[in-house]
Amino acid sequence: MKYSDLRDFISQLQGMGELKPILTPVSPHLEMTEVCDRTLRAGGPALLFQHPTGHSMP
């Protein structure tokens, strides 16, 4: 499947129920990687970290 941009890709994931927003602040240094690794190994959905610590944008 071809996507026109990142927003289109994220929209498709949301529509399929395959995107989980993470609202809890998470450190991008090791913590975020660990959460992603565990989710991937469990066959889980794509993750969108809304509040990475130390950054103002997701």
Give residue-wise pLDDT tens across range 9-55.
999 999 999 999 999 999 999 999 999 999 999 999 999 999 999 88
* String of DSSP letters for 1-58: ---SSHHHHHHHHHHTT-EEEE-S-B-TTTHHHHHHHHHHHTT--EEEES-BTT-S--
For 17-29, the pLDDT digits (tens) are 999 999 999 999 9
Whole-model pTM: value is: 0.80
1 vs 37: CA distance, rounded Å: 24
- What distance in Å separates the CA atoms of residue 41 and residue 31, rounded to the nearest whole number? 16
Give the chain's radius of gyration (CA, Å): 12
* Residue 55, pLDDT score: 81
Q: How confident is the model at residue 5 (pLDDT cuts 50, 70, 90)?
A: very high
